[in-house]
């Protein structure tokens, strides 16, 4: 059977990397100086990664050095797929946890408490951009302490785990940036402590771009950053840690302007497997599960010639950036093989093709069209839709085609609605591979295009090991994929499975499936799809537990996964009253901050006065008990396919593979790194 031809569409959204000043998490104050600034006294982060999800706890102390009571407004980037589960404020020296209400009602209650001069706080979500926390009052000459806790499932990619604590603001909300300035300095104490409790062998853990980090093996792996300790990073080390203790001074207060990224690498040769993490407190009750499927490495390399289509943004917003972009395209084109072909499409207010069809990548042709690209002067608006549409025209079915879209992400001319971009991509047999650069990027649009084209997305932080991320991406581009993937569970009553549609699975990717089940006992789990048009089927059989109390957070993770699917549907097709209500109901029931719900905290008397049930407090009590229990025990293995392995091959890993020539795409994707390094050198030269 003929191999299915794969069309590849790569999008590198460079909006953050091309911004001038770096914006950060921090306390906000009006840019006009109409109110005095509060200060961050302490910022302590505690992360526990275990059982395939992370619990991040952030404790902060705000201080008011002024003679009047003030409102604290703290803003930070929305972490990837994060479910805010706890907002606690210390009132009269005692912690009081928050409850989730419909968004407008939560703001009304908060403003009422604030107007009455009573202690109150609120956590709100500003779309995909930021979480915003308001606390009132931070009393004159006093401190206020708050705690925020959020949950995230943790994915492995080709044997590499990754966790990001986002701090660097993406700079995409121009109105917000014009009105507010941020105080991102931590005066007294900053700490970041991560504990990776792993039941599988982990060879190494590292924190790129964090030279002061301390890494050690202790009950798994631990990593620490402390504002009062300058330390030598210990990377790729299986035991010892070296530290250099130095006192911190006010001049060296920690600044919340750089993401903290943590990587860990599994041992080579681990089997492909199925993990199950369940929560079912009573036999008669409905259970909730998270199933993590790590396929074996049996997707073969693709060995075909390629066509390349470069779709380049030459709008006015690219001024000051285009020289670096042109240099990157030049390097990418010179990396082509003689049997490759290319097209070049430019767009600003409208689109135009420079090459007038495919051109053989001879040295003469490459040199000729490089000169044309370098001669362009960016101006006018950004008709992203027109550029993408022209780039997708005239793709030939018998050739592997890579469409490389390079833009700063500002679509302000012509068609800009997300649903129209989706229609455009769905018309073509393309796979969309998005590299989402920086925090507060338009993840909804880019991930929607990814889903529609059955591709994959990689979120890239400026603190990432970008070359490593490119190697992971390269192994997906150069290997077959499993398309039309499905998971079926037989022999047990299951419901509310998310995601309902998987799409394509690429080399090294894990599948994370959430759902509910009734009863208990053995069930057959079938994983199937197509590789190059041929059916592939994997199967195992294992037990769903009758009672499981170790991981109550799974209920919130299921709810948030379901909410994200509903939100994405509304972003694709417009807001619907029934979906909006469903998101609101789930947010309130499971205590989650969403686009339509917020978490408000006030005194216990005020909760009673407003008639607000303390359901989230009850859920938190169960979760805190489970977390304390897990903290005193070793990590447990959640693998359930020991008796009947689903896969015969070991899982994909980075050991001994993934190297070699990056090719045109890899060279081009190094441009963001080069630009960021150049910007950092420019900043460091300005004192």
pLDDT, one tens digit per residue, over 566-589 is 988 888 878 889 999 999 999 999
The per-residue pLDDT for 162 is: 92
Domains and CATH numbers, the chain: 7-17+301-479+657-685 (3.40.50.410), 23-266 (2.60.40), 273-297+482-631 (no CATH)
Among 245-254, 318-327, 526-535, 541-550, top mean pLDDT goes to: 541-550
What average pLDDT does the chain have?
Answer: 81
- Return d(Cα 512, Cα 558) in angstroms, integer: 11
pLDDT digits (tens, 9 = 90+) for 597-621: 999 999 999 999 999 999 999 999 9
DSSP of 409-427: S---SS---HHHHHHHHHT
Higher pLDDT, 471 or 389: 389
Residue 473 pLDDT > 70: no
Q: How far is CA 77 from the centre of its chain?
A: 11
CB-neighbour burial class of residue 345 (10 A; exposed 0-12, middle 13-18, buried 19+): buried
H helices present in 309-434, as ranges: 322-334, 363-374, 384-392, 418-426
pLDDT digits (tens, 9 = 90+) for 55-110: 999 999 999 999 999 999 988 877 888 899 999 999 999 999 999 999 999 999 99
Hey, how many other C-beta atoms are within 10 angstroms of the C-beta on 496?
15
Residue 457 pLDDT > 70: no
Our separate counts of H helices and E strands in the chain read 14, 40
Check residue 548 and report its DSSP letter.
Answer: B
Q: What residues contact residue 414 under an 8 Å CB cut-off, 6+ apart?
A: 349, 350, 383, 384, 385, 386
Residue 532 pLDDT > 90: no
Cβ–Cβ under 8 Å, residues 53 and 290: yes
| Region of poorest pLDDT, from 271-275, 276-280, 448-452, 608-612 | 448-452
> How much is the average pLDDT of 640-667?
74
Burial code (b: 16+ CB inside 10 Å, e: under 16) for 90-116 equals bbeeeebbbbbbbbebbbebbeebbee
């Amino acid at each position: 059977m003929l191999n299915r031809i794969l069309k590849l569409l790569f999008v590198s959204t460079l909006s953050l990397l091309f911004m001038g000043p770096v914006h950060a998490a921090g306390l906000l104050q009006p840019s006009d100086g109409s109110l005095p600034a509060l200060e961050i006294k302490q910022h302590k982060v505690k992360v526990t990664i275990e059982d395939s999800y992370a619990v991040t706890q952030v404790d902060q102390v705000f201080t008011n050095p002024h003679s009047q009571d003030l409102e604290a407004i703290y803003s930070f980037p929305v972490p990837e797929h994060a479910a805010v589960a706890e907002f606690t404020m210390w009132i009269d020296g005692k912690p009081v946890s928050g409850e989730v209400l419909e968004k407008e009602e939560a703001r009304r209650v908060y403003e009422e408490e604030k107007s009455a001069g009573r202690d109150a706080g609120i956590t709100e979500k500003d779309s995909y951009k930021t979480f915003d926390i308001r606390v009132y009052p931070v009393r004159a000459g006093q401190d206020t302490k708050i705690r925020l806790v959020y949950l995230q499932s943790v994915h492995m990619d080709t044997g590499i785990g990754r966790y990001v604590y986002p701090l660097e603001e993406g700079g995409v909300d121009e109105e917000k940036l014009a009105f507010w300035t941020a105080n991102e300095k931590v005066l007294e104490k900053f700490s970041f402590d991560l504990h990776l409790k792993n039941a599988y062998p982990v060879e190494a853990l590292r924190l790129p771009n964090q030279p002061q980090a301390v890494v050690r093996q202790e009950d798994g792996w631990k990593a620490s950053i402390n504002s009062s300790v300058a330390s030598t990073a210990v990377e790729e080390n299986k035991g010892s840690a070296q530290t250099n203790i130095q006192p911190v001074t006010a001049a060296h207060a920690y600044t919340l302007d750089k993401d903290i990224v943590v990587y860990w690498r599994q041992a080579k040769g681990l089997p492909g497997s199925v993990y199950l993490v369940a929560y079912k407190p009573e036999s008669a009750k409905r259970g909730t599960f998270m199933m993590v499927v790590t396929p074996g490495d049996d997707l073969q390399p693709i060995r075909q010639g390629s066509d390349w289509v470069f779709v380049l943004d030459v709008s006015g917003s690219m001024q000051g950036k285009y020289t670096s972009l042109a240099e990157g395209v030049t390097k990418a084109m010179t990396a082509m093989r003689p049997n490759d072909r290319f097209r070049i499409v430019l767009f600003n207010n409208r689109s135009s093709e420079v090459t007038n069809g495919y051109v053989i990548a001879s040295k003469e042709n490459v040199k000729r069209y490089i000169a044309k690209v370098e001669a362009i002067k960016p101006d006018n608006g950004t008709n992203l839709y027109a550029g993408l549409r022209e780039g997708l025209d005239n793709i030939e079915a018998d050739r592997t085609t890579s469409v490389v879209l390079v833009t700063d992400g500002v679509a302000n001319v012509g068609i800009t609605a997300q649903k129209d971009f989706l229609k455009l991509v769905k018309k073509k047999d393309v796979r969309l591979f998005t590299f989402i650069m920086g925090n507060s990027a338009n993840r909804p649009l880019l991930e929607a295009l990814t889903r529609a084209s059955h591709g994959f997305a990689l979120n890239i932080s400026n603190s990432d090991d970008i070359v490593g991320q490119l190697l992971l991406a390269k192994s997906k581009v150069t290997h077959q994929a499993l398309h039309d993937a499905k998971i079926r569970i037989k022999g047990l009553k299951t419901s509310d499975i998310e995601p309902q549609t998987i799409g394509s699975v690429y080399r090294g990717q894990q599948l994370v499936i959430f759902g509910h089940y009734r009863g208990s006992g053995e069930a057959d789990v079938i994983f199937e799809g197509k590789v190059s048009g041929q059916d592939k089927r994997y199967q195992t059989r294992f037990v769903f537990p009758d009672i499981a109390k170790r991981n109550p957070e799974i209920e919130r993770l299921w709810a948030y996964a379901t909410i994200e699917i509903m939100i994405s549907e509304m972003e694709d097709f417009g807001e619907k009253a029934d979906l909006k209500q469903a998101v609101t109901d789930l947010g309130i029931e499971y205590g989650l901050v969403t686009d339509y719900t917020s978490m408000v905290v006030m005194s216990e008397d005020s909760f009673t006065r407003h008639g607000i049930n303390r359901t989230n407090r009850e859920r938190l009590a169960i979760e805190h008990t489970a977390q304390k229990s897990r903290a005193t025990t070793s990590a447990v293995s959640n693998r359930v396919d020991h008796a009947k392995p689903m896969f015969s091959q070991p899982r994909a890993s980075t050991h001994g593979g993934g190297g070699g020539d990056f090719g045109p795409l890899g060279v081009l994707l190094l441009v963001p790194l080069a630009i960021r390094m150049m910007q950092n050198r420019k900043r460091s030269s300005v004192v």
